[in-house]
């Protein structure tokens, strides 16, 4: 999903709306040659508008994928030992999760340890 400058389709068979998001499936189906920049005096496409709304409401447009978790002190991707704490400590009743980042491959992950040890 990426917000672009508004453009509108020129074919009579397409709906008379303008699109402004690359994640819109209707917009994606329209070939470059039928696209004209600008809103063309048309209302916005609901699909594009919806994407825009959720992007603005949530504050972060992309859902953050969950970080991989490991109990070993090392990078889960390259098994490197050059890891640095990246902030974010999450503690629940039984577990403490600390966000680390690998200095070698850049992978962010959570180091999980028991809160009782
Ligand atoms: Zn659209
Ligand atoms: Zn690594």
Over pLDDT 70: what percentage of the chain? Answer: 86
3-9 and 19-21 strand pairing: antiparallel
pLDDT-derived band of residue 112, with 50, 70 and 90 as boundaries? Answer: very high
User: From the CA of 64, how far away is ligand 1's center (Å)?
Assistant: 24
Measured CA to CA, the distance from residue 17 to residue 7 in angstroms comes to 9
Is the separation of the CB atoms in 55 and 1 below 8 Å?
yes
pLDDT at 63 over 70: no
Distance of CA 19 to the CA centre of its chain: 20
- pTM reported for the whole predicted model: 0.44
- How high is the pLDDT of residue 23? 84
Residues surrounding ion ligand 2 at CB below 5 Å: 75, 77-78, 80, 102, 104-105, 107
Closest listed ligand to the CA of 35: 1
The Cα 17–Cα 41 span in angstroms is 9
Q: Is the dihedral of CA 43, 44, 46, 47 positive or negative?
A: positive
**Residue 90 pLDDT > 90:** no
Q: Which ligand is nearest to the CA of 107?
A: 2
- pLDDT over 90 for what percent of the chain? 58
CA of 17 to the centre of ligand 1 (A): 8
Token pair of 31 as six digits = 């070939």
Determine the distance from the C-alpha atom of residue 59 to the mean position of all C-alpha atoms in its chain, rounded to a whole number. 11
pLDDT band at 66 (very low <50, low <70, confident <90, very high): confident
Q: How far apart are CA 23 and CA 1, in angstroms?
A: 4
Q: What is the pLDDT of residue 3?
A: 78
Look at residues 17, 21, 13, 4 and name the one whose alpha carbon lies nearest to residue 43.
17
Output the CA 19–ligand 1 centroid distance in Å: 4
């Amino acid at each position: 999903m990426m917000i672009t400058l508004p453009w509108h389709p020129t074919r009579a068979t397409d709906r008379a709306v303008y699109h402004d998001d690359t994640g819109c499936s209707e917009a994606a189906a329209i070939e470059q040659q039928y696209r004209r920049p600008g809103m063309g005096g048309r209302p916005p496409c609901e699909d594009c508008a919806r994407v825009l709304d959720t992007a603005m409401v949530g504050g972060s447009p992309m859902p953050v994928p969950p970080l991989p978790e490991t109990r070993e002190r090392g990078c889960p991707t390259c098994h490197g030992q050059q890891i640095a704490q990246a902030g974010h400590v999450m503690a629940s009743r039984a577990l403490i999760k600390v966000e680390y980042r690998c200095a070698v491959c850049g992978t962010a992950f959570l180091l999980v340890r028991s809160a009782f040890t």
